[in-house]
Structure 1
Amino acid sequence: MKLTRRTAKVAAFATISALALTACTGGGGSGGGGGEKATEENKPEQLTVAAWMDFPPELLASFEEEYGIKVAVESFPDGASAQTVLRNGLSSGGAGLSDVHLIELDWWTEMMAAPEDWVELPEVPDRWVDWKVKQGSVDGVMTGYGTDIGPLGVAFNQEMTSAAGVATDPEVFGEFIGGDAATWESFLDAGRAYVATSDNYFIDSLSSAFQAAINLLPAAFEDPESGDPYNIADNAEVKELFMTFADAAADGVSAGIPIGHADWGAGFQNRQWATVVTPAWMTGIIADNADGIEGWRLSSTFPDGGGNWGGSFFSVPSTGENTGWAVKLADYLTSPEAAVQWFHETGQFPSQVDAIASPDIAETENEFYGGQRLGQVYGDLASAAGDSAAGGFRGENFAGIQSLVTDGISLVESGGATPEEAWESVVSDFDALGFETAD
C-alpha cells in the first residue's frame, strides 16, 4: 500500500456476489470549507479521483449508471507520488488537484495541517469502526471517509519452513515465532533459528518489519500535546526498538529487499525468503509477485498482540469546482457494499462495520493461500489488536522521521554500517533537519 501500487488482484477468490450499490448514497450533503449541494443543475459530466490502487470496475460503472457521471481515476505508481502531487497542489491554491484524493494514514496529519483546505464531510452514523472515524477527523470535524484498515499478520511459506524443520503449518509456525506470548524479540530469534538451518533468508526486509513495529508505539516520534518531534538522540523507546531490529539485520536474518524494491518480485520467485510482515492490503500484492510459488500461508499469530499498518481516506479539496458531487462520490466509494468489492479486488480489509461482519468477507476462501479464509484471519487479528489497531500518534513530521529511521535499518541490512554506526547516522540526519524539539 504505502510503497507500491496495489495492482494485483487477490488470486483465485470465489465468485464475487453481485452487489446492489444503489444504497451507497448515505452522505452527499453540504460540506464546510467550500462545500456545496449536489444538484442536477451543477452536475458535472466527469469527476476525478487521485489514487494509487486498482478500482473495482463495477464500482465505478455503478456510480455512472446511478448518477450519469463518469469517474476518471488519476492513477499514481505509489503513495509517495500521490503525496507529492497533493502537497504541491495544496501549497498552490488547489492547482492540479482532483475532485477526490486518497490520503494514506501516515501522511494524513501533514495534509490536514490547514483544515480549511478540505470539505467538511457529512457524518454517516455507524458506518466505520469508531477509531477510523476519529483518525479521519480534524478537531472533531470529519474530513476523510475511511477505506481500509491494515491489521497485521505474517505471511510465510510453509514449504520453506517445513524444509528447514521449524514449522509445517500455520499453527506450528505461530508457536515457532512465540505463540500467544510472541514479541518482536521472539520473532527475530525465530529468524535466527531459521537461517541457521536454511540457505535462504527468514524475511524479505527488516526495515519493513521495523515500520510495522513503530506503528505499535503510542507516540513514536512526536509529542501528542505539542506536535513537536522528540529529540531522536534521547528517544530511548525508539532506540531500543531500532537496536533490536538492527542487531537481527547484522545477524543476516533479512534479505534487505522491501516492498517497492525492484527485486522484490524476483525474491519471491527465487524463494529468497520465507516470511513477510503482511498487512491485509499486501496479501494480493504477494499473490501476484509469488504467482506459481506454492506454500504461502498466513499466520494468525503476530508479535506484541498485533496492530495496524496503513489504511486510507477519501477526502475532498475545498477548492474543487464539484465539491458537492465529489462528497457524494467519496461516500459511494466507502459504503459497506463498496468495501466488499475493494476486498475482492485488492485484498484491502474494510473499516466498515457491516463489511467486516459480512460472510462475503469472512467466508471467502483464498486459493493462493491454500484455501485460508483471509477475511476471517484478519478479522481475528484486528480484534486481538484492540485499541492498538488505531496506531500511535502521527504528527506532521511522522512520515519523514519514520523514513529516516527505517533507512537506518536498511543501512545495516546492506552491510553499510554496524547497528551502532547506523543509529549514529540516524541521529546525525535527524539533527540536520533542524527541528524545534519537544522538551
Structure 2
Amino acid sequence: MRARNRIGALLLAGALTTLTLTSCTGSTEAGGGGGEATEQNKPDKLTVAAWMDFPQDLLDSFEDEYGIEVVINSFPDGASAQTVLRNGLSSDGAGLSDVHLIELDWWTEMMAVPEDWVELPEIPGRWLDWKVDQGSVDGRITGYGTDIGPLGIAFNQDMMTAAGVATDDSSFSRFIGGDAATWQSFLDAGRQYVAASDNYYIDSLSSAFQAAINLLPAAFEDPETGDPYEMADNEQVKELFMMFAEAAADGISAGIPIGHSDWGAGFQNKQWATVVTPAWMAGIIAENADGVPGWRISETFPDGGGNWGGSFFAVPSTGKNTAWAVKLADYLTSPEAAVQWFHTTGQFPSQLDAIANPDIADTENEFFGGQKVGATYGDLAAAAGDAAAGGFRGENFAGIQTLVTEGISLVEAGGATPEEAWDKVVSEFDALGFDTAP
C-alpha cells in the first residue's frame, strides 16, 4: 500500500500544466442528489476520503470554477481508509465522504454490493482500456482511474560499482538477467551482490514477493467462483514462496519494507542497493533517500514486468450530493489533473493523454541523476503489456496476500526456515475456514 508522502518539487522539476478542465454530464442510478449537477442542488462543499496529498491548485481550480469547496478527509494510510469505508458500507453510509479513493487490492471487497456505488458516465478514450475494466463491476463503471503502478527496480549504481557487479543501467540490466530476467535470476544476482558487499541487496523480499504475486493470473482465488484455493494445494504460490523464502534465508534482504519505521533510516545508512519500485514509490524513495546519490530506475524488470497498485475515485450511492460528487471525480481524473498528480505525488497516470504528455515523459528527475523517470515508467508499462492489468483479485485477495507475505517476513527475521514458514502460512489459512474452490 502506498504510504502517505509529501515530496513537492523533489520528485520532478518543471512548471505545472495549466488546468483547463471540462466536465462530463450524465445520470447516476442511485443515491440522493442523483441526476444532473445543477445550481439548485449544488452543495457548499464536497468531501473526499484519501490518504495522500492533493495538488492544491487542483482543488482551488475546482472551487474557482464551481464555487464548491473541496475538503479532504485525510487518513494516515490506505488501511485506515479501507476500515472506515468498510464500516460505512455496512451501516447504510454512515460516516462516508462524498468521494472515496479506493486502492486496487481492496477494490473487489468494496464493490461486493455494486448498488452501494453510483454508476459513473463513460468517458471514451480517457484511460487505458484495462484500467476501465478494473474500475467496472458487471459492466457498470463505478470507479474513475487515478494512477497505475508499472513495476521497476530502483538500484544504487554507486553501491553496485563498489561491489564490482555493475556500473550503469545497461550493466545492471545484464547483472539481473537482461531481456531474459526472471525472479530467480534477480534473486541469484542478490546472492552474488551480498557476497561482494557489506550491505544488503534489497530492502525487503516481502515487498518484492508481493510484486511477484501481482503477476500471477489467479494467485489465491478461482476467477469463476471467487472462492479461495486451498493453500496447501496452491503449487504456483508455494513455488514462488519458496523461491523468495530461500533467498531470505540466504540473507540478501534487510527485511525492512516500505512503511516500516526504519525504512527511511535504511536509505540514509545505505543498508541496501535495490528496491522493487512501482511508479508511485519513486517519489517516496526520493524523499527518504534525500542526500544519498546514485539511485536510478532500471529499464529491466523480471518476467517482463507488470503493475502494482493504482486506485480509483468512487461515489457512494448513499451520499446527498452524488451528482456533484461524480463531477468532482471526473475533474480529479482528467488528463490535465493527472499531470499535476504526477508532479505532486509521483503517481504515474492511467490517462492516455497524460502518459504521452511531454511534461511527464520528457521531464528530467534531479534526484535520479537527471533520468527521465516518466519516460522510463512509460516504457516499463508498455513492455508489461496486458500483464499490467494484474491477475484476478477476489474479495479475499488482500487478506490472503497479507498472510502469505508475512510468511516471507518471518524468514527474513530469522524466525523460521522456509519450510516452517510455509507450514505456518498453510495452518493460518486453514484456520480462516474458507469454503475453498474444488
> TM-score, length-normalised on structure 2?
0.98
Q: Is the 8 A contact 1:151 1:382 kept in 2?
A: yes
Counterpart of 1:275 in 2: which secondary structure? strand
- Separation of aligned partners in 1, 2:84 and 2:107: 14
Instruction: Give the 5 Å matches for 1:298-309.
Output: 298-309=297-308
Instruction: Give the 5 Å matches for 1:99-248.
Output: 99-248=98-247
Q: CA deviation at 1:19?
A: 1.2
Match of 2:421 in 1: 422
Q: CA deviation at 1:347?
A: 0.9
Q: Is the 8 A contact 1:9 1:284 kept in 2?
A: no
- Separation of aligned partners in 2, 1:17 and 1:223: 44
Paired amino acid for 2:342: F
Paired amino acid for 2:225: S
Paired amino acid for 1:131: W
- Separation of aligned partners in 2, 1:420 and 1:338: 48
Match of 1:361 in 2: 360
Paired amino acid for 2:29: G
Residue by residue, what CA displacement relative to the aligned partner does 1:253-286 show, whole Å, maximum 9, x if unpaired? 1000000000000000000000000000000000
Q: CA deviation at 1:10?
A: 5.5
- Separation of aligned partners in 1, 2:296 and 2:9: 14
CA RMSD of aligned residues (A): 0.9
Q: Is the 8 A contact 1:148 1:348 kept in 2?
A: yes
Match of 2:95 in 1: 96
Q: CA separation of 1:17/1:8 partners in 2, compared to 1, >3 Å: closer, same or farther?
A: closer
Counterpart of 2:10 in 1: which secondary structure? coil
Q: Is the 8 A contact 1:9 1:288 kept in 2?
A: no
Match of 2:28 in 1: 31
- Separation of aligned partners in 2, 1:31 and 1:300: 42
Instruction: Give the 5 Å matches for 1:336-355.
Output: 336-355=335-354
Match of 1:393 in 2: 392
- Separation of aligned partners in 2, 1:426 and 1:105: 23
Q: CA deviation at 1:4?
A: 1.6
- Separation of aligned partners in 2, 1:378 and 1:267: 24
Q: Is the 8 A contact 1:7 1:346 kept in 2?
A: yes
Q: CA deviation at 1:3?
A: 4.6
Match of 1:310 in 2: 309
Q: Is the 8 A contact 2:16 2:343 kept in 1?
A: no
- Separation of aligned partners in 2, 1:303 and 1:205: 16
Counterpart of 1:238 in 2: which secondary structure? helix
- Separation of aligned partners in 2, 1:397 and 1:7: 31
Q: CA deviation at 1:6?
A: 3.1
Stretches (4+) displaced over 4 A:
none
Q: CA deviation at 1:64?
A: 0.4
Q: CA deviation at 1:13?
A: 2.2
Match of 2:16 in 1: 17
Q: CA deviation at 1:30?
A: 1.7
Q: Is the 8 A contact 1:109 1:394 kept in 2?
A: yes
Match of 1:79 in 2: 78
Q: Is the 8 A contact 1:24 1:337 kept in 2?
A: no
Percent identity over the alignment is: 78
> TM-score, length-normalised on structure 1?
0.98
Counterpart of 1:102 in 2: which secondary structure? strand
Residue by residue, what CA displacement relative to the aligned partner does 1:296-332 show, whole Å, maximum 9, x if unpaired? 1000000000000000000000000100000000000
Q: CA separation of 1:80/1:12 partners in 2, compared to 1, >3 Å: closer, same or farther?
A: closer
- Separation of aligned partners in 1, 2:137 and 2:248: 38
Aligned length, in residue pairs: 436
- Separation of aligned partners in 2, 1:24 and 1:59: 13
Q: CA deviation at 1:215?
A: 0.2
**What are the ranges of 5 or more consecutive residues in structure 2 without an aligned counterpart?**
none
Q: Is the 8 A contact 1:184 1:304 kept in 2?
A: yes
Q: Is the 8 A contact 1:56 1:342 kept in 2?
A: yes
Paired amino acid for 1:31: T
Paired amino acid for 2:341: W
Paired amino acid for 2:113: A
Paired amino acid for 2:191: R
- Separation of aligned partners in 1, 2:315 and 2:337: 18
Q: Is the 8 A contact 1:153 1:381 kept in 2?
A: yes
Paired amino acid for 2:266: G
Q: Is the 8 A contact 1:177 1:187 kept in 2?
A: yes
Q: Is the 8 A contact 2:119 2:142 kept in 1?
A: yes
